[in-house]
Amino acid sequence: MPLRRGAELPSLAGATEWINGETTRESLLGSPCLIHFWSLSCYICKNNLPALAAWKTKYGPLGLKVIAVHMPRSEDETNVELVKKSMLEHGITESCAIDNMHDVKDAFLNEAGFVPHYYVFNADGILESRAAGDAGVASIDAALVKLFPA
């Protein structure tokens, strides 16, 4: 069963490596955060990156922390150098957990391994919203508007 609204922010301790600096669950508490799972072969992930960039621009100065989790969908995608190259090409500048063993995916109860998958937690580390795929962008945008009212 996937994480439900009201669930606590899981640990990120299962990452096999970090790019752009390691992040812990504890360092995320105190600020709203958006955690997005992506994969090298996921075209929807790449198509949604402009929305992610817009959220970082709009809500980052207001305190939103954004964390990426690269979840490989095949053995070829476990190559960290390819992940780094893709991050540069697509402007993914936030801390990125490499989840080659799928421990972070499991902690987030993403049993089906959907990417893209987005999780929005409030400053207390409580899940406000989660969504996946193309349609997920609208849901996450609405959740961020609630956390950061104009």
21 touches 117 (CB < 8 A): no
- How far apart are alpha carbons 71 and 85 in whole angstroms? 15
Q: What is the pLDDT of residue 134?
A: 86
Residue whose C-alpha is closest to residue 77's, from 98, 104, 51: 98
Q: What is the pLDDT of residue 111?
A: 81
- How far apart are alpha carbons 29 and 27 in whole angstroms? 6
State both tokens at 128. Answer: 């406000």
Per-residue model confidence as pLDDT tens digits over 35-61: 999 999 999 999 999 999 999 999 999
Each as own residue / partner, the long-range contacts of residues 55-58 (CB below 8 Å, 24 or more positions apart, any chain) are 55/140, 55/141, 55/144, 56/94, 58/144, 58/148
| Domains along the chain with CATH numbers | 17-147 (3.40.30.10)
State both tokens at 71. Answer: 């979840």
Residue whose C-alpha is closest to residue 143's, from 118, 107, 125: 118
Per-residue model confidence as pLDDT tens digits over 89-127: 999 999 999 999 999 999 999 888 889 999 999 999 999
Q: What is the pLDDT of residue 12?
A: 96
Q: What is the pLDDT of residue 112?
A: 80
φ/ψ of 83, rounded to 5, equals: -65, -45
